[in-house]
Structure 1
Amino acid sequence: MSLLQLNEIAAFYGPSQALFDVTLEVGEGEVVALMGRNGMGKSTTVKVICRMLAHAQGEVHFAGQNIGALPSHKAARLGIGLVPEGRRCFANLTVYENLIAAARKGAWDFGAVCELFPRLEERREQSSASLSGGEQQMLAIGRALMTNPRLLILDEATEGLAPVIRQEIWAAIAKLKAETGMAIIAIDKSLRELGQVADRAVILEKGRTVWSGAFEALGPEETDRYLGV
Structure 2
Amino acid sequence: MSFLTLDGIEAFYGPSQALFGVNLSLAEGEVCALMGRNGMGKSSTIKVICRLLKHSAGHLAFDGQDMAAVPPHKAARAGLGLVPEGRRCFPNLTVRENLIAAARPGHWDFDQVARLFPRLAERQDQSAASLSGGEQQMLSIGRALMTNPRLLLLDEATEGLAPVVRQEIWAAVRQLKSSTGMTILVVDKSLAELRQVADSAVILERGATVWSGAMAQVTPAVADQFLGV
TM-score if structure 1 supplies the norm length?
A: 0.99
Q: Give the secondary structure class of the aligned counterpart of 2:212.
A: strand
| Distance in 1 between residues matched to 2:2 and 2:54, nearest whole Å | 22
| Distance in 2 between residues matched to 1:181 and 1:66, nearest whole Å | 24
For residue 56 of structure 1, what is the aligned residue in structure 2?
A: 56
For residue 168 of structure 2, what is the aligned residue in structure 1?
A: 168
| Distance in 2 between residues matched to 1:91 and 1:105, nearest whole Å | 24
Q: Which moved more, 1:75-84 or 1:215-224?
A: 215-224
| Distance in 2 between residues matched to 1:72 and 1:201, nearest whole Å | 25
For residue 73 of structure 2, what is the aligned residue in structure 1?
A: 73
Shift of 1:199: 0.2
For residue 210 of structure 2, what is the aligned residue in structure 1?
A: 210
- 1:114 lines up with 2:87 in the alignment: no
Map 1:4-19 onto structure 2 (within 5 A).
4-19=4-19
| Distance in 2 between residues matched to 1:84 and 1:65, nearest whole Å | 23
Q: Give the secondary structure class of the aligned counterpart of 2:120.
A: helix
For residue 151 of structure 2, what is the aligned residue in structure 1?
A: 151
Q: How many residues align?
A: 229
What amino acid is the match of 2:50?
A: C
Deviations 1:75-101 (A, max 9, x none): 000000000000000000000000001
Map 1:86-165 onto structure 2 (within 5 A).
86-165=86-165
Shift of 1:181: 1.3
For residue 20 of structure 1, what is the aligned residue in structure 2?
A: 20
For residue 179 of structure 2, what is the aligned residue in structure 1?
A: 179
Deviations 1:165-205 (A, max 9, x none): 11110000000000111100111110000000000000000
| Distance in 1 between residues matched to 2:181 and 2:28, nearest whole Å | 7
User: What RMSD in Å do the two structures reach over aligned CA positions?
Assistant: 0.6
- 1:47 lines up with 2:47 in the alignment: yes
| Distance in 2 between residues matched to 1:3 and 1:116, nearest whole Å | 26
What amino acid is the match of 1:166?
A: R
For residue 193 of structure 1, what is the aligned residue in structure 2?
A: 193
| Distance in 1 between residues matched to 2:27 and 2:193, nearest whole Å | 21
Deviations 1:44-64 (A, max 9, x none): 000000000100001110011
State, as a whole percentage, how many aligned pairs show the same letter: 71
| Distance in 1 between residues matched to 2:3 and 2:149, nearest whole Å | 12
| Distance in 1 between residues matched to 2:220 and 2:125, nearest whole Å | 47
Q: Give the secondary structure class of the aligned counterpart of 1:203.
A: strand
Q: Give the secondary structure class of the aligned counterpart of 2:197.
A: coil
Shift of 1:3: 1.1
| Distance in 1 between residues matched to 2:3 and 2:182, nearest whole Å | 10
Deviations 1:84-129 (A, max 9, x none): 0000000000000000011000000000000000000000000000
5+ unaligned residues in a row in structure 1: which ranges? Answer: none
| Distance in 2 between residues matched to 1:74 and 1:220, nearest whole Å | 40
